[in-house]
C-alpha cells in the first residue's frame, strides 16, 4: 500500500502506537479518532506522544488530526 494517501484510524482506547506507518510512503493525511477515556490517562498520553513522534519522523510528513470521540465504542 505505498500509494495510500489518507489513513483513518479509530480506536476505542489507545495505549500503543500503531506500527508499520513508516512503510506508507505516499501518506499525506492521518485522521485519528479515540474513544472514551477510562482513567488510564498517563498511558494514553504516552501512546499519543509516541504516535506523534512516529508521524514527525515519517518521510512524507503527513498532516495529523486527532479527535476525542466519546461515542466510539
31 located within any domain: yes
Q: Residue 49 sits in which domain range?
A: 6-68
DSSP secondary structure, 10-72, as one string: EESS--SPPS-GGG-TT--EEEEEE----S-HHHHHHHHHHHHHHHHTSTT--EEEEEE-TT-
Asked whether the whole model's pTM tops 0.85, one would answer no
Residue 18 burial (CB count, 10 A)? 15
CA angle 33, 48, 22 (to 5 degrees): 90
21 located within any domain: yes
Q: Who wins on pLDDT, 64 or 19?
A: 64
Q: Give pLDDT tens digits for 23-34.
A: 888 999 999 888
Q: Which residues, 6 or more positions from 19, have their beta carbon under 8 angstroms from its beta carbon?
A: none
Share of the chain above pLDDT 90, in %: 22
* 20 grid coordinates: 508499520
61 located within any domain: yes
73 located within any domain: no
Number of domains in the chain: 1
Amino acid at each position: 500500500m505505498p500509494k495510500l494517501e489518507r489513513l483513518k484510524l479509530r480506536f476505542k482506547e489507545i495505549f500503543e502506537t500503531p506500527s508499520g506507518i513508516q512503510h506508507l510512503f505516499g501518506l499525506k493525511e492521518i485522521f485519528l479518532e479515540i474513544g472514551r477515556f477510562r482513567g488510564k490517562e498517563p498511558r494514553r498520553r504516552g501512546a499519543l506522544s509516541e504516535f506523534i513522534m512516529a508521524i514527525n519522523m515519517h518521510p512524507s510528513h503527513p498532516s495529523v488530526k486527532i479527535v476525542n470521540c466519546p461515542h466510539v465504542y
